[in-house]
Structure 1
Amino acid sequence: MADILDRARTQVLERGIGLDESDILGILTLPDEDLPAALQLAHEVRMRWCGPEVEVEGIVSLKTGGCPEDCHFCSQSGLFTSPVRAVWLDIPQLVEAAKQTAATGATEFCIVAAVRGPDARLMKQLREGVAAIRAAVDIQVAASLGMLTQEQVDELVEMGVHRYNHNLETCRSYFPNVVTTHSWEERWETLRMVRESGMEVCCGGIIGLGESVEQRAEFAAQLAALDPHEVPLNFLNPRPGTPLADQPVLAPRDALRAIAAFRLAMPKTILRYAGGREITLGDLGTRDGLLGGINAVIVGNYLTTLGRPATADLELLNELSMPVKALSATL
């Protein structure tokens, strides 16, 4: 299997060209003894094409729970018996969350809503919230509001939202096993409009939904074809009451293989640690991922699950001599 690493070194590290689907699969199926070499190569790729800086982000849920969609991994769906119930934040709470996020050194604050797509009420509250945040704290504002119309895309641009998150979640061939209330193609159409608007595209997904390793490679290749500015990499944290509640947690080595493979597929993309890394990788695995291609983190808690304390992540970055990207560097 050393051949795949040699090819990757020439193609990805030296030329900055990501691996194709067959070679991504080769990385995902490397034997355990070759995993350290793959992680080391992915780290070298990250350092060469992205640099040592790490982008730090905090997220907050403007509207939690009560979503009409049936994403099988998500406890915010109103169709499941999970304990999450609908909650709305007011504007002062939103501003306070942004201030707390900025205090950690984060440069990015993402406002998330559990909806199929935003209605007039949500767009009005977002407009007011973004204006209040921009008046109170120096931080970039991103949003994740589900599927959009062209009019809504234009409105977000006018508000000053600079990055939009809309995850494809998994590969096209496996998507119907995970979501039935909307299609992969509908998500792709929102991403197309976001890209054409000039907003940065943030698009990733969840590893460990029950997809095959071949489908994991398919997903990485499809993300690479989209060429997003940022890819948040989540690992399934099975939630009570959802259809995937009994899905086994991904093996740590498989999670690390995925990190290396996604970096080698997308050498110049921000690859962000997102949900599930705490239970999948723990402290040691989190370190391995930062030395294996990851160059961004969400600090603090996620939407419905607890994350590592922000101080723990920031201390680890300092220990690894990985500076937090300054706000000016994100503009």
Structure 2
Amino acid sequence: MTAAPHQVETAAGDNDILAVAREQVLERGVGLSQEQVLEVLRLPGEALQDLLALAHDVRMRWCGPEVEVEGIVSVKTGGCPEDCHFCSQSGLFPTPVRAAWLDIPGLVKAARETAETGATEFCIVAAVRGPDKRLMSQVREGIRAIREDGNDIQIACSLGMLTQEQVDELVEMGVHRYNHNLETARSNFPNVVTTHSWEERWDTLQMVKDAGMEVCCGGIVGMGESDEQRAEFAVQLAELEPHEVPMNFLIPQQGTPYEHYETIEGPDALRIVAAFRLAMPRTMLRFAGGRELTLGDLGAEQGMLGGINAIIVGNYLTNLGRPAQSDLDMLDDLKMPIKALSDTI
């Protein structure tokens, strides 16, 4: 199987949106509107393969064939004071996760192992509302130690909501990308989180963007949102113009309010990925948490041929992922080159 572009043949009737998208997105590079994304999300099952083929063509035209590979590690796990209903790291829910800190040697080791997979990106994550002085100091020391270890991998951070002073500190440390997910559509956010607002997250992202760091911002699908809210979320992300959008699918976590939620079906997940690609033709879309549970191995390949052009390898904070080598082998089978480090600087 190769990553060569597909030709899309659309049927009459309810597939008209694909013809519109082919002209608007593929040919002109203009993302779909909220109403158009909703049409895509409501396409019948028999249109899925045509949709995925179009999304792949869009990815190839506007992003190219390369795939960015990233590894992530949690420097501070659990004990978070926020009540994000999907998260096992919230200290407000009776989950099995307990607060823990990763020491500097452990951080350096994780960065080294990530680089050895061929990844060009290493993200330092902390389960906090926002970083305090201790955390900022540890991140600074960790980055210095990673560099002294001879590792020139790109370093990203995900440390919650920031002040302008903290944004400036991260820029000075050499952090080139900041992850802060909006998680879901603005209209659905109060159902997911009550201890802070969607607007607070948006404000942090704007400061990061204005400071010149790359913005990584996505969310989680499968948290009770409607198709209308999924379309809303896609265009809200497009408005932010992030460099990267991580695509997560809910993994119901023991002890959280969402522990009994059902995972979404694989075809629905693929349809959502393709719809987000058509809303954001030039944005990096990254497979993140939950894809193994929702899609399995075959679905992961379909996603890579349906608009995805970046991937997290290894484990996801408190959840296990596929072995990194399995994903690297998949990319090799698909003839998708891994983006070189020199191209990400």
Bucket of the pairwise TM-score, normalised by the shorter protein: over 0.9
> Where do residues 42-57 of structure 1 align in structure 2 (5 Å cutoff)?
42-57=55-70
Instruction: Give the corresponding residue for 1:9.
Output: 22
Are positions 1:124 and 2:137 aligned together? yes
Can you give the 5+ residue segments of structure 1 that lack an aligned partner in the other structure?
none
Q: Distance in 2 between matches of 1:250 and 1:213?
A: 12
State the AA in 1 paired with 2:128.
V
State the AA in 1 paired with 2:44.
P
> Where do residues 281-292 of structure 1 align in structure 2 (5 Å cutoff)?
281-292=295-306
The CA deviation string for residues 226-276 of structure 1, in whole angstroms up to 9 with x for no partner, is: 010000000000000000000110111110010000000000000000000
**1:218 aligned residue (218, 232, 236):** 232
Instruction: Give the corresponding residue for 1:256.
Output: 270
Report deviation, 1:134.
Answer: 2.0
Q: Distance in 1 between matches of 2:181 and 2:102?
A: 23
State the AA in 2 paired with 1:325.
K
Instruction: Give the corresponding residue for 1:265.
Output: 279
The CA deviation string for residues 191-236 of structure 1, in whole angstroms up to 9 with x for no partner, is: 0000000000000000000100110000001000001000000000
Instruction: Give the corresponding residue for 2:117.
Output: 104
**Segments ≥4 residues shifted beyond 3 Å:** none
Instruction: Give the corresponding residue for 2:253.
Output: 239
Question: Pairwise CA RMSD of aligned residues?
Answer: 0.5
2:15–2:43 contact (8 Å) kept in structure 1 = no
Q: Distance in 2 between matches of 1:271 and 1:135?
A: 31
The CA deviation string for residues 277-304 of structure 1, in whole angstroms up to 9 with x for no partner, is: 0000000100100000000000000010
Instruction: Give the corresponding residue for 1:209.
Output: 223
Instruction: Give the corresponding residue for 2:309.
Output: 295
Report deviation, 1:73.
Answer: 0.2
The CA deviation string for residues 29-83 of structure 1, in whole angstroms up to 9 with x for no partner, is: 1000001000000000000011110000000000000000000000000000010
Q: Distance in 2 between matches of 1:126 and 1:305?
A: 22
Q: Distance in 2 between matches of 1:138 and 1:160?
A: 11
Q: Distance in 1 between matches of 2:279 and 2:144?
A: 37
Instruction: Give the corresponding residue for 2:196.
Output: 182
How many residues align? The count is 331
**1:230 aligned residue (244, 251, 268):** 244
Instruction: Give the corresponding residue for 1:80.
Output: 93
Can you give the 5+ residue segments of structure 2 that lack an aligned partner in the other structure?
1-13
State the AA in 2 paired with 1:92.
P
TM-score with structure 1 setting the length: 1.00
2:67–2:339 contact (8 Å) kept in structure 1 = yes
Report deviation, 1:135.
Answer: 2.3
TM-score with structure 2 setting the length: 0.96
Report deviation, 1:133.
Answer: 1.1
**1:194 aligned residue (197, 200, 208):** 208
Instruction: Give the corresponding residue for 1:37.
Output: 50
